[in-house]
Structure 1
Amino acid sequence: MGEITAISWCDHTFNPVIGCMKVSPACDGCYAEALMDKRYGRVEWGAPGHGPGTRVRTSAGNWHQPIKWNKKALAEGTRPFVFCASLADVFDNQWDLEWRADLFDLIRATPNLVWLLLTKRPQNIVKMSEACGGLPSNAAIGTTVEDQARAINLFHLASAARDLAPAFTFASFEPLLGPVDPTRIVIHEGPARFDDWPEVTTGIVSFNALLGAPSINLPPLGWAITGGETDQGEHRARPTHPMWFRRLRDQCASAGIPYHHKQNGEWARHEVKSNGSLTGQVVVWPNARTDVRNANDGGGPGVDMDKVGKRRAGRLLDGVEHNARPQVAA
């Protein structure tokens, strides 16, 4: 499990635990649920109104795999990226307390690996890491941001980075379900501006001056990943407006943040063949063509999208493949 991965932004995947609970719109088409619950029946996936579900720890043999990867990396002088818990969430509060402690011990024992801890629960990172003796220095922390409402996760992520000093931080804008402007985040104290992304990367969150609250120094984001949604089981992928990808790509370029575009998803911009026939004639959801002109406020100009399939939609954004990663010394 995880020796070879098709995920373009990592070199290995490692799953210490299987099982999770849906907590946001990005979870609607969860591939882990489709695979481990619906297909194999390994666990019962949790969801609001249905309980937290179940969690199972993977085998000792699987837990030994990173030790082998670490030895190979040492011999080759490399620092491969390991996406941890693609079938779970490391900061899920339903984990047995010892599981996370054992995982952090494993991470510390494999210093030649760069561990990517991606969560939809960034508010849990600090307390759960401290309960395990602190975040390992070779662990990067990241969070999922699928729309503007979930941009608050970037604030929680930066706050955790300030307290824990991870290898770097990263955000997964996948599946991107609406336009996201990371420079504007609303938190419970009131309107705030997240200034990690402009040309001058200051790492400052400035509260509304009327509230009289002081600014808070926070570290900047270290990496951004974007991607469109794919079909999973009975769930049909929702389209992503190309402008949503472009805006994040351009903000990263302006701020000097590494940008990686994983995939366009199932949808591509509508085209007409040279003979006048339409592309994407197999589209069944929600119509043969979907106009996302007004899908979200600020979504950009109108554009018709055809559901053409993941392979055909590809990874190119305006004809360019984006594969950037943070630089980590061997």
Structure 2
Amino acid sequence: MSRLSEERTVATNSSIEWTEVTWNPITGCDRVAAGCDNCYALALAKRLKAMGVAKYQNDGDPRTSGPGFGVTVHPAALEQPRKWRSPKVVFVNSMSDLFHAKVPISFVRDVFDVMAETPQHTYQVLTKRASRLAKLADKLTWPDNVWMGVSVESFDAVDRIDHLRATPAAVKFLSCEPLITALPAMDLEGIDWCIVGGESGPRARPMDPDWVLDIRDQCMEAGVAFFFKQWGGRTPKANGRELEGRTWDAMPQLASI
């Protein structure tokens, strides 16, 4: 089997601290907010296209996307989780957004069906399209092994929390990464987990430590598990991930255990 084969039966191990593997039945996306400005997936898709990786040959709109990053569904990839021999914590669509308007609801349902039929795995789904998430929520069947999250990278995105709260997901989480503004006085009712991280890459925007401490304190007061991923910088690990002399790795209980 070619190393550039579109599908592999083994899990794609992830360097993301809060997950184990990634699963991409959809690839490609479009810019919708300031948090997308330095998207790692957009840059990676361009490289993968140049390498000849089959999943990344569909170009997106150059105004909002880029080479290899056109929204594309991959039905063959739906079978991948069934082939993993041991339970995994799975980040779904690290290279796309399941609730993108260009993803048919029939395919969203197919993804949810696979997650329901593989209860040994725990799936983490993250979206910036919180309004579509809310619109589709009652049209989907939500198994207990699905964690649903929204990106809340700036104060302008706080309304996504209300859309998330309206879903029946067993675990609801926030990804405040890349954190580019303060997020004071969030309503964390019904939220189980919060990830915070700074931006990385050559154009990384700085993150004020006071923003992080305030979110940490809000989580502690609300009883929300707090996970600090990184300070960010030129590279993801450039400035480490300690906050006040320690790491913060709290997570909800895994549904598959």
> Which of 260, 281, 291 is residue 227 of structure 2 equivalent to?
260
- Does 1:167 find its partner at 2:170? yes
The 5 A counterparts of 1:273-292 are none
Take 2:138 and 2:120, find their aligned partners in 1: how far apart are those partners? 22
Take 1:50 and 1:20, find their aligned partners in 2: how far apart are those partners? 6
8 Å contact from structure 1 (residues 261, 322) kept in 2: yes
> Which of 114, 120, 123 is residue 112 of structure 1 equivalent to?
120
Report the alpha carbon displacement of residue 182 of structure 1 after superposing the two structures with TM. Answer: 4.3
Take 1:96 and 1:159, find their aligned partners in 2: how far apart are those partners? 21
Counterpart residue identity of residue 12, structure 2: E
* Shift in alpha-carbon separation, 1:311–1:137, aligned structure 2, 3 A: closer
* Shift in alpha-carbon separation, 1:116–1:182, aligned structure 2, 3 A: farther
- Does 1:29 find its partner at 2:38? yes
Report the alpha carbon displacement of residue 143 of structure 1 after superposing the two structures with TM. Answer: 0.4
The sequence identity of aligned pairs, in percent, is 32
- Does 1:54 find its partner at 2:70? yes
Counterpart residue identity of residue 24, structure 1: A
Report how many aligned residue pairs link the two structures: 239
Give me the CA root mean square deviation. 2.3
In the alignment, which residue of structure 2 is the partner of 1:139?
Answer: 146
8 Å contact from structure 1 (residues 16, 57) kept in 2: yes
Take 1:63 and 1:178, find their aligned partners in 2: how far apart are those partners? 37
Take 1:47 and 1:257, find their aligned partners in 2: how far apart are those partners? 39
Counterpart residue identity of residue 228, structure 1: G
Report the alpha carbon displacement of residue 47 of structure 1 after superposing the two structures with TM. Answer: 6.6
Take 1:226 and 1:47, find their aligned partners in 2: how far apart are those partners? 30
The 5 A counterparts of 1:93-104 are 93-104=101-112
Counterpart residue identity of residue 243, structure 1: D
Take 1:179 and 1:24, find their aligned partners in 2: how far apart are those partners? 16
Counterpart residue identity of residue 143, structure 1: V
- Does 1:222 find its partner at 2:238? no
In the alignment, which residue of structure 2 is the partner of 1:188?
Answer: none
8 Å contact from structure 2 (residues 30, 64) kept in 1: no
SS in 1 for 2:214: helix
- Runs of 5+ in structure 1 lacking a partner? 74-79, 184-193, 197-202, 204-219, 267-307
Take 2:141 and 2:61, find their aligned partners in 1: how far apart are those partners? 28
8 Å contact from structure 1 (residues 81, 116) kept in 2: yes
8 Å contact from structure 2 (residues 26, 95) kept in 1: yes
* Shift in alpha-carbon separation, 1:50–1:243, aligned structure 2, 3 A: closer
8 Å contact from structure 1 (residues 44, 54) kept in 2: yes
- Does 1:149 find its partner at 2:156? yes
Report the alpha carbon displacement of residue 50 of structure 1 after superposing the two structures with TM. Answer: 7.3
Counterpart residue identity of residue 8, structure 1: E
Q: TM-score, normalised by structure 2?
A: 0.84
> Which of 208, 219, 232 is residue 241 of structure 1 equivalent to?
208
Q: TM-score, normalised by structure 1?
A: 0.67
Take 1:242 and 1:13, find their aligned partners in 2: how far apart are those partners? 29
Take 1:312 and 1:88, find their aligned partners in 2: how far apart are those partners? 26
After superposition, the C-alpha distances for 1:91-111 in whole angstroms (9 at most, x for unaligned) are 111013432222111111111
In the alignment, which residue of structure 1 is the partner of 2:86?
Answer: 72
8 Å contact from structure 2 (residues 134, 163) kept in 1: no
Take 2:39 and 2:60, find their aligned partners in 1: how far apart are those partners? 10
In the alignment, which residue of structure 1 is the partner of 2:184?
Answer: 181
- Does 1:88 find its partner at 2:92? no
Take 1:47 and 1:25, find their aligned partners in 2: how far apart are those partners? 17
Counterpart residue identity of residue 173, structure 2: F
Take 2:195 and 2:180, find their aligned partners in 1: how far apart are those partners? 14
8 Å contact from structure 1 (residues 145, 171) kept in 2: yes
8 Å contact from structure 2 (residues 20, 89) kept in 1: yes
In the alignment, which residue of structure 1 is the partner of 2:27?
Answer: 18
Report the alpha carbon displacement of residue 152 of structure 1 after superposing the two structures with TM. Answer: 1.1
Report the alpha carbon displacement of residue 39 of structure 1 after superposing the two structures with TM. Answer: 5.1
SS in 2 for 1:310: coil
- Does 1:5 find its partner at 2:8? no
